Amino acid sequence: MANYYCKWCGVKHSSVASLTAGPCLRNPVKGAKHELYEGSEKKQYICKYCGIKHSSIASLTSAPCLKNPRKGAKHEPAL
Give me the 21-40 binding string for Zn ion, x by CB under 5 A, dash otherwise. Answer: ---x---------x------
C-beta neighbour count of 21 within 10 angstroms = 11
Q: Is the Cβ–Cβ distance between 30 and 37 less than 8 Å?
A: no
Q: How far is the CB of 1 from Zn ion (least distance, A)?
A: 20
Piece in contact with Zn ion (CB under 5 A), picked from 12-20, 37-45, 57-65: 57-65
Helices (H), 1-79: 16-19, 57-60
Exactly one of 4, 5, 8, 45 binds Zn ion (CB under 5 A); which one?
A: 8
